[in-house]
A = this chain, B = another copy of it.
C-alpha cells in the first residue's frame, strides 16, 4: 500500500554530471527555509537521459512509454529518491490526493467512528484525510466547507446542519458525500433506522410498556426527525403512545437536563436521539432514585464507545458509524476515479443491541 521509497537524507550539493554517468543523489539541495527539497522530474530526466515530459508520463500513467525507458526512468527515480510534489501536481490537474471530512462536533464520540472509518479507507487508497468541525453551527460549517473545497478532491459532510440547497451547491463543484442525511441529487449514506427502531419498540412493548417518550436532538438534525418518525410509526404499529420531548443539546448534559420532562411525561420507556442523551438521562434519573430498568427503560441510539460502560449497560439502536464513514469515503473515491457507483443513497442497517437499561417494568408508575 505504501508507495513512497525511503527518504534518505542527502547532503550532496554538487552539479549533476553527464546523463550517462551514474549520479546518485539529486542536484538540488535546499530551498526556502532550510528545508531539504527532493529531486524533480528534471533531475530524473537528466539522469535518465530523456525529456522531463517523458518522465512525467512514465511516472504518472504507466503504459504511455516504452518498457525500456520506463524502467530506466523508474530506476533513476528510485536512485534519486524522487517523490512528486503534490502542489506542483495539483496546479495543472486540480487534483490533490485528499478528501475532506466535516463533522458537526469533534467532542461527540459518535463522530469518532465516522472519522476512523473515513480515515482508514482513505488511507488504504492512499488518500489523506483533512478534518474540520462545524461546532454544530451551520455558518461555521459552510465556512469550513468552502475553505476545504479549494484544497480537497472531495468532501464528506457528516450530519451536516446546513441547507439542502447549500449542500447541492457545494456538490456541484466537487464530489460531495453526505452521512446521516438524505439530500436529493447528492450521494448519501444513511442508516436505515426502521429495523432497529422496530426491534426496540417491539421489545419495549413485549415488556409491557405503554407510553414511550422520544427525546429529540438538534432541530437542524435530519436524523433526529427521521428517528422520531420511526418511533412514531413503530409505536403506532405496536399500539403504544409516543410523545416527543425536546432537548437543549445532544450531549450527556442535555440528557441530564431533560430528566424532569421525562418524569413529567409519564412515560415508562424512553428512546433518545443518541447515546449521550441516554447516558446523561440515566445518570440523572438514577441520581434521583429511579431504578433502571425496573422503573423506567432507556434506549439510546448509535452504540457509541462507552455505551456498555454504564450500569446497567445501555440498550441502544446501533448505527454502523464506522461503516458510514468508510462507505462515504468509498463513494467519493469511486466518483473521483470515474467509476460512478450507485447513484442513489446507500442504506446501512441498524439493529437493536439489547443490554441492561431496558426491560420489564417492576413497579407501576
List A residues at the B interface (Cβ < 8 Å): 2, 4, 7, 9, 31-33, 35-36, 38, 83-88, 90-91, 93-94, 96, 98, 106-107, 109, 112, 115-116, 119-120, 123, 128-133, 139-140, 143-144, 146-151, 169, 172-174, 279, 305-306, 309-311
Choice from B83, B88, B94 contacting A35 with Cβ under 8 Å: B94
Choice from B91, B96, B115, B306 contacting A309 with Cβ under 8 Å: B306
How far, in angstroms, from A9 to B173 measured CA to CA in the complex?
9
- Whether A173 contacts B36 by the Cβ 8 Å rule is yes
* Also in contact, A131 and B129, with CB within 8 A (given A4-B146, A116-B107): yes
- Whether B119 contacts A106 by the Cβ 8 Å rule is yes
Q: How many subunits of this chain does the assembly comprise?
A: 2
29 pairs from A and B in contact (CB 8 Å cutoff): A2-B140, A7-B149, A9-B172, A31-B94, A33-B94, A35-B94, A36-B172, A38-B150, A85-B150, A86-B151, A87-B87, A87-B90, A88-B91, A98-B130, A106-B112, A106-B115, A106-B119, A109-B109, A109-B112, A112-B112, A115-B115, A123-B132, A123-B133, A128-B130, A128-B132, A128-B151, A130-B131, A131-B131, A310-B311
Pick the 7 closest A-B CB pairs, nearest first. A306-B306, A311-B311, A309-B309, A87-B90, A106-B116, A2-B143, A32-B94
Contacts of A150 in B (CB 8 A): 38, 83-86
**How far is the CB of A154 from the nearest CB of chain B, in Å?**
11
Most buried by B among A38, A88, A309, A310: A309
Which residue of B is nearest A311, CB measured?
B311
Which residue of B is nearest A312, CB measured?
B311
Sample of 10 further A-B pairs with CB below 8 A, known A115-B115, A119-B133, A128-B148: A33-B94, A36-B172, A38-B150, A87-B87, A88-B91, A91-B91, A106-B115, A119-B132, A123-B132, A128-B132
- Whether A106 contacts B87 by the Cβ 8 Å rule is no
- Whether A120 contacts B143 by the Cβ 8 Å rule is no
How far, in angstroms, from A115 to B93 measured CA to CA in the complex?
31
How far, in angstroms, from A115 to B139 measured CA to CA in the complex?
22
Contacts of A148 in B (CB 8 A): 128
- Whether A130 contacts B133 by the Cβ 8 Å rule is no
Choice from B123, B131, B143, B173 contacting A119 with Cβ under 8 Å: B131
